[in-house]
């Protein structure tokens, strides 16, 4: 078994993990953006 074939599953796992991490960060940023938008609209309404 070549060295490349030994590390292929590890590389695939790391790639999938990174995708899930980025996806989670995207959801967090989306939630923060929505909170900021809601607060801005509330402030605008009060003015």
Per-residue pLDDT, 18? 82
Q: Give the pair of three-digit tokens for residue 6.
A: 């030994």
Looking at the chain, the number of H-run helices and the number of E-run strands are: 1, 0
The model carries a pTM of: 0.59
Residue showing tokens 């030994």: 6
Whole-angstrom distance, CA of residue 4 vs CA of residue 12: 12
The pLDDT profile of the chain, 47 residues, written as one tens digit per residue, is 577 778 888 888 888 788 788 888 888 989 999 999 999 999 999 98
**How far is CA 24 from each of CA 21, 28, 45, 47, rounded to the nearest angstrom?**
5, 6, 32, 35
């Amino acid at each position: 078994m070549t060295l490349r074939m030994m590390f292929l599953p590890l590389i695939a796992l790391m790639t999938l993990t990174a995708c899930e991490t980025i996806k989670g960060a995207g959801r967090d940023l989306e939630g923060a953006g929505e909170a900021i938008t809601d607060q801005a609209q509330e402030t605008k309404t009060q003015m």
